[in-house]
Structure 1
Amino acid sequence: MPITPADFASLLCSRLCHDLLSPVGALNNGLELLADETDPAMRQRCLDLLSESAKTSANKLKFFRLAFGAAGGFGEQVDARECRAAIEGLLSSGRKVELGWLVEADTLPKPAAKVLLNLAMIAGDALVRGGRLDIGGEVGGEENGGQVEIVVRAEGPRVILDPDIRRTLSDGEGDEAVTPRVAAALLIHTLAGSVQVSEPGDNVMLFGAAWQPPTSG
């Protein structure tokens, strides 16, 4: 079914609100507990909860600004170190995921950076019991039109990818109703076209995408 820009914006907003609801809700709960608690040890536990929830919320907001928004300055390039820091912040909350960074370029075109970030988020979510996430990116030269090739490798005890997300990465909108959980996959497909996704084998899943700069003239 065709997705209008307004529909797409709604899907993204729903996804962001869903992901932020848990840490922001934990902040609210921590404040309520702190207001009624008099025991010093319990008050310290409440403060620890507030600190952890605030850090998680801030990390997610920084990642979302770069992955979905206009963060990274007014230029056409994004510092690759910003992308790495955003992914590290996102992975620091919840299940333990080790990051392997194999991007040698100092900067990435903004659309390619968004493809990389969103693929990293999807692959990280697929590591339901933690594991390792290796992210590689190569920026081509004039001979291939500046194409950016991106590969993400997820390895862990259990790797599960939502079938709707897989379908959206490969086929785009398809014929079924699009839900907020596939918003990131739809953005990737819109920017880079079809994404190659392997079947989980030996607890490993590979994602491959390529972003091609638009031709002028």
Structure 2
Amino acid sequence: MTELTQRVHPTDLELAALISSKICHDVIGPVGAIYNGLEILNEDDDAEAKSYALSVIRNVTEQASARLQFARFAFGAAGSAGSLIDLGTAEQISRGFIGNNKHKLHWQGLAGHMAKDKVKLLLNLIAVSVTALPRGGDIEVIMSGTTEVPNFVLRCKGTGARAPQHLTEFITGEGIPPLDAMTIQAYYTWRLAQSAGMPLSIVKDGNDVLLSALS
């Protein structure tokens, strides 16, 4: 029996608390930056400083909004049970989440509507793929099959590409880390893959890392 099967999964309340901590962790930085920018506006009469503060506020407000929108679909209900989600919407919020900094998102494959549990899995795969590229790089989302029976392959390309943080341990059931705000993303992704009937695999392809969820 593996270490994972010997462990007790978190209760619904514990899982909700961990995900809440994850969301707060992701947005506290931008919100803090907004507060700092507002303080500069209130206390500094220099026109250049005010212009800089407004620029920071705009950028981090957009960032916070994108992260919350992503969390709403990746972690939240985003509709009633069994509902379908437009893949165009999934692409849009994914691009907002990744942004235009050191990571670049490339999206190809299926169009139309897909079951909510599978879209949530795809979004969480995109989120964990960011941890596969600590120095930045390209995340290529490739979908095949049909919207009813899809396959997801994410190619992570960049310097120092590695397996997404903590995900291998949950897939193999070996060396499982304690669940906290930093590991819950990988755990939740693994659980979503199980629920969707799409087992996960991580392989190296040259310098790239391929993260797959196949029906």
In structure 2, how many angstroms separate the alpha carbons of the residues matched to 1:45 and 1:166?
Answer: 42
Counterpart residue number, 1:214 = none
1:6 partner amino acid: L
**1:68-217 aligned within 5 A:** 68-71=75-78, 76-92=83-99, 95-140=101-146, 146-161=148-163, 164-168=166-170, 170-171=171-172, 176-193=177-194, 194-199=199-204, 201-202=206-207, 204-210=208-214
1:210 partner amino acid: L
In structure 2, how many angstroms separate the alpha carbons of the residues matched to 1:47 and 1:163?
Answer: 35
Would the alpha carbon gap of residues 72 and 135 (structure 1) be closer, same or farther in structure 2, given more than 3 Å must change? farther
* Post-superposition CA distance 1:98-156 (Å, at most 9, x none): 22211323111100001100001110232222211111223448xxxx43211111101
Q: Give the deviation of 1:72 after TM superposition.
A: 5.3
Is this contact kept in 1: 2:109–2:144, CA < 8 A? Answer: yes
Q: Give the deviation of 1:179 after TM superposition.
A: 2.1
* Post-superposition CA distance 1:32-75 (Å, at most 9, x none): 11111101011100100111110000010111101111225776
In structure 2, how many angstroms separate the alpha carbons of the residues matched to 1:24 and 1:14?
Answer: 15
| Greater Cα offset, 172-181 or 8-17 | 172-181
Q: Give the deviation of 1:188 after TM superposition.
A: 2.1
In structure 1, how many angstroms separate the alpha carbons of the residues matched to 2:200 and 2:77?
Answer: 23
How many residues align structurally?
A: 204
TM-score by length of 2: 0.85
Superposition RMSD in Å: 2.2
Matching of residue 38 in structure 1 with residue 45 in structure 2: yes
Question: After the TM superposition, which parts of structure 1 deviate over 4 Å for at least 4 consecutive aligned residues?
Answer: 72-75, 172-176
Is this contact kept in 1: 2:163–2:202, CA < 8 A? Answer: no
In structure 2, how many angstroms separate the alpha carbons of the residues matched to 1:74 and 1:100?
Answer: 29
Give structure 1 stretches of 5+ with no counterpart. 212-217
Counterpart residue number, 1:17 = 24
Would the alpha carbon gap of residues 36 and 200 (structure 1) be closer, same or farther in structure 2, given more than 3 Å must change? farther
TM-score by length of 1: 0.85
Is this contact kept in 2: 1:173–1:186, CA < 8 A? Answer: no
